[in-house]
Chains A and B, each alone.
Chain A
């Protein structure tokens, strides 16, 4: 079975340009997460969705960032306008909550290979 698929794998863009990162979760998974990884801040959760609905976007850094999930098999993370400090690896991840519903916390979250963004 295919894993979480992200595109592009690498992107170099100029400051001020719009950046769109794309993600296809594992089929059947109903949770989708966007994480950002930087040397300074480590792995940060930006936003996550359940059944295509945003549940927690408290990690989205500012209004320049937006995320959508129009259907169960596709999500986007958009940065407009981009800035050099947005340079990072952006990971998409997905999971399916097996176990005794929401009280079960041992579900495995599967990560994509990441989108490596450089803003110059």
Chain B
């Protein structure tokens, strides 16, 4: 079945550091890929998405490129802020289905 694998956390960075959170997936067909973010005590919010190969999703300084050849969708940000501290979830939605399959989440901690 479809699955998403994320790097283990927590990822601990200093403010203004470069961020990469790795995500790879296994799926039949042509899924869409998503990054959701969960701030402490809150629900999940869509951060960005990409619906086909080589698409780049971007939002709030975060970027991720849909790489079909490596089945990856790594999240990057050039300069993190303390306010980016949260749990980040990679997810996929496969063709013909309307449900999301999530990775286990990666906690990001950014210190001043």
User: Which residues of chain A have a CB within 8 Å of any CB of chain B?
Assistant: 4, 31, 33, 42-43, 45, 48, 50, 56, 91, 93, 95, 97, 102-114
CA distance A97 to B93 in the complex (A): 12
User: Within the complex, which residue of A91, A104, A108, A112 is in contact with B46, where a contact is CB–CB below 8 Å?
Assistant: A108
Q: What are 11 A-B contacts with C-beta separation under 8 Å?
A: A33-B100, A45-B100, A50-B98, A91-B44, A102-B96, A105-B97, A106-B32, A110-B46, A111-B43, A113-B43, A114-B43
**Shortest beta-carbon distance from B29 to chain A in Å:** 8
Q: A42-B105, A48-B98, A109-B100 are in contact. List 7 more A-B contacts (CB 8 A).
A: A42-B104, A103-B96, A105-B30, A105-B98, A107-B98, A109-B93, A113-B42
Q: Mark B86-112, 1 if CB is under 8 A from A, else 0.
A: 000100011111111111110000000
B36 CB contacts on chain A under 8 angstroms: 111
Which parts of B39-56 form the interface with A (CB within 8 Å)?
42-46, 49, 51
Q: Are B43 and A105 in contact (CB under 8 A)?
A: no
Q: What 10 pairs between A and B have smallest CB-CB spacing?
A: A106-B51, A106-B32, A111-B43, A43-B102, A111-B44, A105-B32, A105-B93, A113-B43, A42-B104, A105-B95
CA distance A14 to B85 in the complex (A): 34
B95 CB contacts on chain A under 8 angstroms: 103-105
**Shortest beta-carbon distance from B47 to chain A in Å:** 11
A111 CB contacts on chain B under 8 angstroms: 36, 43-45
A107 CB contacts on chain B under 8 angstroms: 93, 98
Q: A105-B30, A105-B32, A112-B43 are in contact. Are A43 and B99 (CB under 8 A)?
A: no
Q: Mark B18-36, 1 if CB is under 8 A from A, else 0.
A: 0000000000001110001
> What residue of chain B has the Cβ atom nearest to residue A113's Cβ?
B43
CA distance A48 to B94 in the complex (A): 15
